[in-house]
Amino acid sequence: MSDNSINLNSNNNSLHEFSQIIKNFDKINIIEIEPATENINEGIFEGDLNNVIVKLVELIFNKLNEGKCRKTIKQCVLNHINNKVIIQEIYNYLLNNQNNSNSIYLLGYFNYNGIETKLNKQRAIKLYQKAAKLQNIVAQLDLTEIYIHVTESDDDLAFNLSKNLAKKEYAGGLNNLGWCYENGIGTDAYDQKAFDLYQKAADLGNINGIINFGWCYSEGIGTYVDKQKAFELYLMAANFENDFAQYCIAKMYKDGDGINVDIDQAIYWYKKSAEQGNQSAQDKLNELLEE
């Protein structure tokens, strides 16, 4: 493990046919390093909080690279620490040990999510930027996600960071670069490139890549319209508890969009999505229940 940046092996497997994605998705091996609470306790006892920080940063990276939502990632971090005293120990250590990019990034993460400190996204982004300049992969991926989907403050940097991460075959980077090409963020819009990048991200198991790949088939972005393929991809992501994919599946069942109308299934998936906080799904669910 480098002192300055997280070092993860990228998954270079790329499946090029849609049918292979459906067939082989359960075989995809996404690196998962999740520190157990007892390991964290042991690390603190030995005074090796730096090792704890590395494991937490790896955990965040894995979840980001899979395409998990921020709320889920935060809960994973808290679950794996699972002790208020330990969280305080980590935060105090981060404040006093800003000597490598993992510590810089994780202090930013605590600030961005209001963990053991007041929520301060402006300070967090500055820390992410500092860590990203030190070639910290997690900081680069997280910062890209923020620039693309939250602040929209630096299109050129979002595109360049995504491009660099995509070259290294990181699934999250491939998906974000596809988003840049689809929406003209930091570059000219190019639907075919977006489609190809979404497919690569989906092949590597990125949930958002799967959804965006399905969106391409639903809307004919860089490919022909195929509602059945769109449905199968949305369903795959929905089964990974993605609320937007669940909403899309519910809507297709409700409208009979490429599949037979099934109001019971629509209610089921709207409810699943709403339970995760999707307000649009809750509104649609209320409408169906009133009918």
Give me the tens of pLDDT residue by residue for the chain, a chain 291 residues long.
444 455 443 333 333 344 444 444 443 333 333 334 344 444 454 357 888 899 999 999 999 999 999 999 999 999 988 888 889 999 999 999 999 999 999 999 999 999 999 999 999 999 999 999 999 999 999 999 999 988 767 899 999 999 999 999 999 999 999 999 999 999 999 999 999 999 999 999 999 999 999 999 999 999 999 999 999 999 999 999 999 999 999 999 999 999 999 999 999 999 999 999 999 999 999 999 987
The torsion angles phi and psi of 170, rounded to 5 degrees, stand at -80, 130
The structure tokens 């990632």 sit at 73
Domain layout of the chain by residue ranges:
226-290
Using left for φ > 0, alpha for ψ between -120 and 50, and beta otherwise, residue 35 falls in beta
Q: Which of 239, 233, 289, 290 is nearest to 266 (CA)?
A: 289
What is the pLDDT at residue 82?
Answer: 85
The structure tokens 């319209």 sit at 225
171-177-178-184 Cα dihedral, nearest 10 degrees: 170
Q: Which of 83, 9, 99, 96 is nearest to 40 (CA)?
A: 83
CA distance 88 to 105: 17
Q: What share of the chain is helix, strand, coil (3-state, %, to 5)?
A: 70, 0, 30
Q: Structure pTM? A: 0.82
- Cβ contact 253:266 at 8 Å: yes
